[in-house]
């Protein structure tokens, strides 16, 4: 089977301001991210012939990608709007790569943004949180998204003896990394005790175990490996990609402690010809602290049931064996909903360009980036490299 390994590269990447950005709508943030990525890539909008966006909760359009193309006044050969939750960013990358390699287009702009902090009322936000459940088996009992992830956390605690302190350490590490990131929404250092003493949201998850609610946008630009010399920055190559899909609703999950990240990770490793021990860093979807713990295990960075001690050892901190979420992640950098994982992608581009400043992982050559959508439902794993491999 033909592989995309090393044949497509990210040649532009940029983020908007994040956090509370009331002076810009979701659409304006999406366009702002696009313009910043174009500037980073050193090209004009007229050189883009492929466009992919993700629809917005705060400012939705029936045809979102076409609306953004109209706003930008570009007329792409390839235009697509997507929405598969937090995995959207990464699952769409191999579609864009395939479009490039099959000659459908040459240069693809992927831009995503939302205004969950400024663009939604509290009631609208709560309605969105409550709308994900199974109509028959979940919604009648009133859980919101945090409760579903708390169920996962409780299952891991029951099966492996994981502790709330180990979950909390993930949030502490994310904040430590965010403190080194000038663009992060939350930069004040926190302790394990701060996490455990923050307001209980859904047992065992406290407020600081939960991701932020943010405004923000992010964009990347892809082209073929043969064209990277036309762009000013060091290219970042797609070496491997894999998807895994286990369920839609958490009540239908085959397991609460093992996810389809097992399959998505293995498929990405196989395409790249690499293994977990080859990764210099990882960006793992951290909408709630338990997701990081389960992803570490499912992606092969430690054995099942051992992620808690792996985290306590300092392995996921800068300077550890596997720095995780070096920008601060969804827990501390920002989380504007579906586009949230985009920031893990742009951070990885900075890391592999060796442009990440104080939080730079020294000598970073290969990175794993993982996103998931739904309630640990749909998973996509990317392996990116500084060289084609």
* pLDDT tens sequence across 240-290: 999 999 998 999 999 999 999 999 999 999 999 999 999 999 999 999 999
Quote the crossing angle between the two packed helices 342-353 and 88-101, to the nearest 10°.
60
pLDDT at 184 over 90: yes
Instruction: Look at residue 84 in the predicted model and tell me its pLDDT.
Output: 64
Write the CA distances from 75 to 44, 47, 52, 81, 82, integer angstroms. Answer: 13, 10, 12, 15, 18
For residue 49, is it within any domain?
yes
The reply to whether omega before 200 is within 30° of 0 (cis) is no
**Is residue 66 included in any domain, yes or no?**
yes
Mean per-residue pLDDT over the chain, rounded: 95
What is the percent of the chain where pLDDT is above 70?
98
**Which range, of 10-19, 30-39, 90-99, 212-221, averages the lowest pLDDT?**
90-99
HSE-CB at 204 with a 13 A cutoff on CA atoms is 18
Average pLDDT over residues 331-352: 96
Looking at residue 89, what is its pLDDT? 77
pLDDT at residue 137 greater than cutoff 90:
no
**b/e per residue 156-176 (b: at least 16 CB within 10 A):** bbeebebebebbbbbbbbbbb
Q: Which residue has the higher pLDDT, 143 or 307?
A: 307
Considering the entire predicted model, what is its pTM?
0.96
27 within some domain: yes
Roughly what angle, to the nearest 10 degrees, separates helices 64-72 and 26-41?
Answer: 60
CATH at 59: 3.40.47.10
Tell me the helix, strand and coil percentages in the chain, rounded to 5.
Answer: 40, 20, 40
Over residues 175-188, mean pLDDT: 98
Q: Are 225 and 8 in contact (CB under 8 A)?
A: yes
Model confidence at 389: pLDDT above 90: no
β-bridge mates for residue 380, sequence order: 243, 371
Instruction: Enumerate the H helices of the chain as residue ranges.
Output: 26-41, 64-72, 88-101, 122-130, 145-160, 164-178, 192-197, 261-272, 289-298, 307-312, 329-332, 342-353
Q: Pairing relation of β-strands 107-115 and 50-54?
A: parallel
**What is the reported pLDDT for 132?**
76
Is 28 a domain residue? yes
Confidence of residue 155 (pLDDT cuts 50, 70, 90): very high
For residue 196, what is the DSSP state?
Answer: H
1 CB neighbour count, 10 Å cutoff = 3
Say what the pLDDT of residue 120 is: 82
Sign of CA dihedral 25, 30, 35, 36: positive
Where does 162-273 have alpha helices with state H?
Answer: 164-178, 192-197, 261-272
Considering only 33-47, 135-149, 181-195, which range has the smallest mean pLDDT? 135-149
Read off the pLDDT of each residue in 287-301 and give the average, rounded to a whole number. Answer: 98
Q: Is residue 19 part of a domain?
A: yes
Where is average pLDDT lowest: 47-51, 116-120, 195-199?
116-120
- In a domain, residue 81? The reply is yes
Overall domain count for the chain: 1
pLDDT band at 304 (very low <50, low <70, confident <90, very high): very high
C-alpha dihedral over 355, 21, 207, 209, to 10 degrees?
A: -20
DSSP state of 124: H
- Tell me the C-alpha to C-alpha distance, in Å, between residue 124 and each of 106, 127, 128: 39, 5, 6
Dist. CA 279–CA 261, nearest whole Å? 16
Cα–Cα distance measured from residue 377 to residue 114, given in angstroms and rounded to the nearest whole number = 22
Of 100, 91, 89, 115, the residue nearest 49 (C-alpha): 100
Which residue carries 């009648």 as its tokens? Answer: 140
Domain annotation covers residue 93? yes
Mean pLDDT value of segment 297-323: 98
Give the model confidence (pLDDT) of 98-132 as tens digits.
999 999 999 999 999 999 999 887 777 767 666 77
Handedness of CA 121, 124, 128, 134 (dihedral sign): positive
Task: List, in sequence order, every beta strand (DSSP E) within 190-313.
Answer: 200-202, 205-206, 215-224, 236-245, 281-284
pLDDT band (50, 70, 90) for residue 34: very high
Q: Which domain holds residue 87?
A: 8-120+213-230
Q: Is the dihedral of CA 128, 130, 131, 133 positive or negative?
A: positive
Residue 207 lies in a domain: no
Q: 139 falls in which pLDDT band (50, 70, 90)?
A: confident
CA distances from 167 to 93, 344, 387 (A): 30, 20, 34
Q: What angle do CA 78, 80, 84 make, to 5 degrees?
A: 145
């Amino acid at each position: 089977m033909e592989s995309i390994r090393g044949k497509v590269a990210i040649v532009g990447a940029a983020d908007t301001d994040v956090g509370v950005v009331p002076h810009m709508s979701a659409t304006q943030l999406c366009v702002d991210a696009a313009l910043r990525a174009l500037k980073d890539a050193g090209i004009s909008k007229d050189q883009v012939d492929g466009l992919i966006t993700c629809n917005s909760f705060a400012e939705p359009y029936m045809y979102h990608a076409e609306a953004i193309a109209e706003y930008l006044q570009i007329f792409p050969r390839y235009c697509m709007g997507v929405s598969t939750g937090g995995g959207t960013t990464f699952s769409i990358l191999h579609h864009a790569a395939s479009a490039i390699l099959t000659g459908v287009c040459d240069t693809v702009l992927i831009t995503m943004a939302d205004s969950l902090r400024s663009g939604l009322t509290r009631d609208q936000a709560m309605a969105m949180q409550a709308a994900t459940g199974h109509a028959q088996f979940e919604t009648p009992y009133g859980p919101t998204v945090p409760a579903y992830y708390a169920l996962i956390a409780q299952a891991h605690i029951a099966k492996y003896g994981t502790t709330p302190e180990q979950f909390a350490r993930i949030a502490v590490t994310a904040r430590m990394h965010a403190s080194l990131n000038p663009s992060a929404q939350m930069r004040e250092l926190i302790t394990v005790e701060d996490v455990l003493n923050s307001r209980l949201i859904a047992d065992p998850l406290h407020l600081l175990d939960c991701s932020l609610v943010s405004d923000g946008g992010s964009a990347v630009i892809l082209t073929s490996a043969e064209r990277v010399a036309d762009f000013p920055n060091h290219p970042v190559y797609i070496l491997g990609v894999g998807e895994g899909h286990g369920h839609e609703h958490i009540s239908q999950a085959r397991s609460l402690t093992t996810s389809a990240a097992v399959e998505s990770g293995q498929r990405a490793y196989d395409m790249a010809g690499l293994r977990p021990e080859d990764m210099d860093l990882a960006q793992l979807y951290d909408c709630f602290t338990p997701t990081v713990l389960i992803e570490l295990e499912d992606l092969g960075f430690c054995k099942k049931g051992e992620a808690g001690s792996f985290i306590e050892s300092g392995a996921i901190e800068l300077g550890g064996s596997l720095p995780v979420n070096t920008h601060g992640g969804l827990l501390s950098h920002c989380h504007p909903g579906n586009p949230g994982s985009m920031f893990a992608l742009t951070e990885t581009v900075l890391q592999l360009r060796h442009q990440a400043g104080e939080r730079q992982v020294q000598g970073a050559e290969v990175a794993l980036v993982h996103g998931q959508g739904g309630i640990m439902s749909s998973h996509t794993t990317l392996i990116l490299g500084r060289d084609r491999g």
